[in-house]
Amino acid sequence: MLVDEQDAAVLVDEQDAAVLVDEQDAAMLVDELSEKQGVPLDVSKLVPFFYDASGLAHTPVYSPDGKEVSVISAQNGVLRFDARTGASLTSLIGDKDKGMATCIAYSPLGGRIATSSEDTIARIWDPSTGNILFELIRHSASITSVAYSPFRHQLATSSADKTVRLWDVLREGEEVKDFLLEGHEGSVLCVAYSPDGKFLAS
């Protein structure tokens, strides 16, 4: 999709029939989709609700209920917004010196947020307080993506260390168990569960 002659990624919230557009210059825009199928989105009606002048904001993600949006910012960690009003919510601020976040994933019920990072650590956050609940430390290189299983207790991470790890995150950091999956010959860029949680693609 092109917005102002720039490539833009599009993320659709199916529950509320809204669209989120992430431009290269990090402007994020939201609007309701037309009720008429096949009618192109009128980008002139998009309303900007977030802009990062550094141009280093990326990876917008809707919460499971569609009420909020999170986005990674190189300057400010993970920023959260009300998806309808654009009002700022509690941000997730880590140690910037340790590396930028690379991916965001909401737990199926939205009560937790997982982030992956360049510093080889995945973090589980309480979005209501902005505090880190616990960290998952096993990868030996940058973690490229993170995904929650539909069954809530399991989390998958992929990494530049050529591995995928599955984590039991039910116990809030106590006795967190990870299961290593190997076989890739290069960096693993992304990981995703099937809707029923029975399969994992990487």
Three-class secondary structure assignment of 43-55: HHHCEEEECCCCC
Largest CA distance in the chain: 51
The dihedral of CA 147, 17, 52, 131: what is its sign? negative
Better-predicted residue by pLDDT, 135 or 11: 135
Q: Which fold has domain 101-202?
A: Neuraminidase (2.120.10)
Q: Which fold has domain 1-91?
A: Thrombin, subunit H (2.40.10)
pLDDT per residue over 138-194, tens digit each? 999 999 999 999 986 899 999 999 999 999 888 765 567 788 888 899 999 999 999
Please report, for the chain, the start and end positions of each structural domain, with discontinuous segments joined by +: 1-91, 101-202
d(CA 119, CA 141): 7
pLDDT per residue over 88-103, tens digit each? 888 888 766 677 889 9
